[in-house]
Chains A and B, each alone.
Chain A
């Protein structure tokens, strides 16, 4: 399963359908507004032909059950209250330890990468999980274009900060200091599994899922996969990350999915795969690295109990 997943893009060429342009395998019958250049690019994304044993989480659940605290605290708040976000036009600032830096338009960024469909498991630190067909591109393929210097050890990400577009950023009871920030080691960022997503289920990312550009790191807890990114910075030192700042004993920098290390307030040994029925809860064992064993080599010399 893991190998076939990594081969997802290569396998497309062998696929039975002899169309000139590949199409994503999973396209929702949903109306997500996106500029025509993006819609066209999404429609041309190469399909993920890897056969994941896991059943996909239905589109309606993927887009109505979200943790996106910039729009509210409840799971249904982001779907209800994210109309204020304007994902187009969108600029991303590239900064830090790289030869090429500056502000880049999303359309320009996407013109230099190939979009692919990737079906990934998403494991939330709250012990629920989903299976989502993303559309995006390998983060590494983008980062290389800026020629990071030898001092680039980490990559830091920042979400938009704008209380007009993200109303809950003005809420006085929030535990999070805005803007939301996240980070990866350079090796994690360059790993072929690490994705920058612009769509899901064949359509542009809905606002509540992190439009127009979000990170997807499938072997880490969901909070690492930062949404609505406006800045990517190459750094020498480990960058601060939002949940780690507010509760360092509960959320580490690495945040790799690990059934052996419990969150202090709940067990991480199992997860409820959504949608989960009431009288037969869909409880499954959580896998190390969320089942993506190919990343284990990144942590050969890391004590994952200490660096949780």
Chain B
């Protein structure tokens, strides 16, 4: 029974649903006076959520024995890249009207944008190298490279934190989840090192 395929289809549909919804709402003009800002915020939030899902796979497999999730981790990561690109493009087109000189000056002048940009570059690099072929070609370096996803998530959180205006809620919530997801990796790495007599290696 190809249950893996079914799960893949269901997960893909679930992950695409937010995109479908915001597109539908935009086309039918249900996003109010400032649809641009709504779309940029929405796609940014879904980038972070997708990263949370991706990085939750390993803990769920280890703690809840949800092994069926493992084959779908790459797809979840690719959705993070997908929403990140939507976020970047909607900012450039809907907010800046494709004014490239303004894009570059904002990139240089606004710390929260400067912090977000490398996060997107990391996700692009990870997406490009996510194929089986690339995995083989890069060998051990593949894993080193893909640990950058932790940096991407951390930068994503900084990107949110530096935009706090009237409420700390999102920044605190995302901070707690980020700390949990990154903290568990540190814990696993430390445990493994102790077991193997200081040999640094971690898989998840």
Q: How far is the CA of A67 from the CA of B169 in the complex (A)?
A: 17
Q: Which residue of A lies closest to B26 (CB)?
A: A278
With beta carbons under 8 angstroms apart, the residue of A173, A262, A274, A281 that contacts B169 is A173
Q: Is A171 an interface residue (CB 8 A)?
A: yes
Measured CB to CB, the closest approach of chain B to A173, in angstroms, equals 4
B34 contacts which chain A residues (CB < 8 A)? 65, 75, 128, 272, 274-276
Q: Which residue of A lies closest to B90 (CB)?
A: A278
B166 touches A176 (CB 8 A): yes
Q: How far is the CA of A15 from the CA of B32 in the complex (A)?
A: 35
B94 touches A278 (CB 8 A): yes
A283 touches B97 (CB 8 A): yes
Q: Is A249 an interface residue (CB 8 A)?
A: no
Known pairs A65-B32, A275-B33; A175 contacts B110 (CB<8 A): no
Known pairs A65-B33, A276-B36, A278-B35; A175 contacts B97 (CB<8 A): no
Interface string of B105-127 (1 = CB under 8 A from A): 11001111000000000000000
A267 touches B106 (CB 8 A): yes
Interface string of B132-173 (1 = CB under 8 A from A): 000000000000000000000000000000111111110010
A75 contacts which chain B residues (CB < 8 A)? 32-34
Q: How far is the CA of A142 from the CA of B105 in the complex (A)?
A: 46
A174 touches B167 (CB 8 A): yes
Interface string of B159-199 (1 = CB under 8 A from A): 00011111111001000000000000000000000000000
Q: Is A69 an interface residue (CB 8 A)?
A: yes
- Interface size range on B against A: 20 to 34
A73 touches B102 (CB 8 A): no
Q: Is A37 an interface residue (CB 8 A)?
A: no
Q: How far is the CA of A76 from the CA of B112 in the complex (A)?
A: 24
A175 touches B95 (CB 8 A): no
A175 touches B106 (CB 8 A): no
A window 31-75: CB within 8 A of B: 57, 61, 64-65, 67, 69, 73, 75
A283 contacts which chain B residues (CB < 8 A)? 97, 99
With beta carbons under 8 angstroms apart, the residue of A65, A262, A279 that contacts B93 is A279
Interface residues of A (CB under 8 A from B): 57, 61, 64-65, 67, 69, 73, 75-76, 128, 130, 171, 173-176, 262, 265-267, 272, 274-276, 278-281, 283
Question: Please, could you name 5 A-B residue pairs with CB atoms under 8 Å apart, sorted by A?
Answer: A73-B169, A174-B167, A265-B112, A267-B106, A281-B97
- Given A265-B111, A267-B102; 16 other pairs, CB 8 A cutoff: A69-B167, A73-B166, A130-B33, A174-B168, A175-B164, A175-B167, A176-B166, A262-B109, A267-B106, A267-B109, A272-B95, A278-B39, A278-B94, A279-B94, A283-B97, A283-B99
